[in-house]
Structure 1
Amino acid sequence: MFDPAILQSGQYHDWLVQGLILSLQLTAASFVLALPFGVVIALMRSSHSKALRGIGASVVEGIRNVPLLAHLLFWYFAFPELLPEPLKLALYDSHPEAICAVIALSLYSGVHMAEDIRSGIRAVPGTQLEAARSLGLGRLASVRLVLLPQAFRISVPPLLSQTVNLWKDTSVATVIGAAEMMYQAARVETATFRSVEAFTFATLAYLTVSLLISLAAALYARRFPVRTS
């Protein structure tokens, strides 16, 4: 005969694993969107155009000076109300909690990544672009082929640090009902009152992934020391 307690224990384990998987998916999806967004903002802030620099600065300051919690609540509760009815219904039919969490996390992480990338751009000597232009490359080609590769190499360690922050920030998505790890840990605790096991699992999962990303950053820094001259 099946022991119901064992069956339920397996179900609670599945909840925690599902939460871990969703947290990893939120991190990956947000990173994929945040990085190119950060590159665009960093290039705008490094532009010779005063208008582009102003727009870039406004985006950065407008996003990073608002708490992540406020971003999540805005995108989940307010943003859908601004959409046309067909798009609103389509959003509500397509895991709105996860979608809105990814939007908020991408924008919030993207502006912080933009500052890291901009620092990497500023660390590249101006003579690099001058040399590229003297070889006949246009400005866009010089930026794409010469400036950005060097800037990315310099920016990798801080970008990995931002990835750690992004991974930890996924826990805030529980406030809009995204069934990530903290949501599932709280769900298990509510169903079983086994708070030690549930939140120990969540704590160790956050710690393990964070340490792995930090280790990758340390190994990268050791393998590819920054040289800008």
Structure 2
Amino acid sequence: MMESLDFGAVLQGRYLQWFVAGAAKTLLLFAACWLAGFLLSFVVVSLRQSRVRGLEALARLFVDYHRNVPGLVQVFIWYFGIPQLLPDAWQAWINAQGSEFLLVWIALSLNAAAYMSEDLRSGIRSLPATQMEAARALGMSFVQAMRLIVLPQALRVAIPPLVNQSLSLFKSTSLAMAVGLAEITYVSRQVENESFRTFEAFAVASAFYWICSFTIMALGHLASQRLNPAVSTR
């Protein structure tokens, strides 16, 4: 006879504590990766627009690598590969800081930066070329023109794709499970192994992802309305 569902079995005691801790770690990882990726994306897109051949090529290589290599492989390279290239003292320091979180944060942040920079680049390409020319004619340096004139306008255009990338990044935090970081997916698997409540354990994780994803979309909509007040609120 099929066993009846019992969510109470996985939402009490230590299982509940595991879920809360896993959810908190997922949100912390996402926030840290989003912030680092977003800030780095401005650097990458600026290099792409710099018209300095070496810098453009470096930024293009960065974007091409992160867009064409699976995210899980990137996580594995940072977790298993990069530390092996470092001096023993550095490896010891990384391990002391909690290598799982640190290295997954680096991998996902770089991946997010590559995708976000392309969204910003698309926003820049939608602007008239005269924006940069006018800024330079006023005596601004390239960095000043990008920071004060071009990027703020490109950001308004790029909000919808940036929201999509934020959703993708949030879901990509589940890749951390592969290296043993106890985020929500890892915790769900742990609860399922001990309780044998497969559906209930992963249903809790699914509900968490669903709620957070809709929250991200809502925040993205609010940001779009604030930066683009003329856009309809429908």
> TM-score with structure 2 length normalisation?
0.88
Q: 1:226 and 1:131 mapped to 2: Cα distance?
A: 25
2:104 matched to 1:101? yes
Structure 1 residues 164 and 206: CA distance shift in structure 2, 3 A: same
1:51 Cα offset (Å): 2.2
Q: Any stretches of 5+ residues in structure 1 without a counterpart? A: none
Q: 1:154 aligns with which of 157, 165, 171?
A: 157
**Equivalent residues in 2 for 1:79-94, closer than 5 Å:** 79-94=82-97
> In the alignment, what sits opposite 2:187?
184
Query: Please, what is the CA RMSD of the aligned residues?
Result: 2.0
> In the alignment, what sits opposite 2:116?
113
Q: Which amino acid aligns with 1:139?
A: F
2:151 matched to 1:163? no
1:98 Cα offset (Å): 0.7
Q: 1:145 aligns with which of 144, 148, 169?
A: 148
Once the two structures are superposed, residues 187-206 of structure 1 have per-residue CA deviations (whole angstroms, 9 ceiling, x without a partner) of 11111111222111100111
Q: 2:27 aligns with which of 24, 30, 40?
A: 24
Q: 2:141 and 2:100 mapped to 1: Cα distance?
A: 44
Contact persistence 1:113–1:159 (CA under 8 A): yes
**Equivalent residues in 2 for 1:1-229, closer than 5 Å:** 9-225=12-228
Identity of aligned residues (%): 37
Once the two structures are superposed, residues 163-195 of structure 1 have per-residue CA deviations (whole angstroms, 9 ceiling, x without a partner) of 110000001110000000000000111111112
Contact persistence 1:76–1:100 (CA under 8 A): yes
Contact persistence 1:157–1:220 (CA under 8 A): no
Contact persistence 1:45–1:57 (CA under 8 A): yes
Q: Any stretches of 5+ residues in structure 2 without a counterpart? A: 1-7
- Say which is worse superposed, 181-190 or 145-154, in terms of deviation: 145-154
Runs of at least 4 residues of structure 1 off by over 6 A?
none
1:85 Cα offset (Å): 0.8
> TM-score with structure 1 length normalisation?
0.90
Count of paired positions: 222
Once the two structures are superposed, residues 93-115 of structure 1 have per-residue CA deviations (whole angstroms, 9 ceiling, x without a partner) of 11111111101101111100110
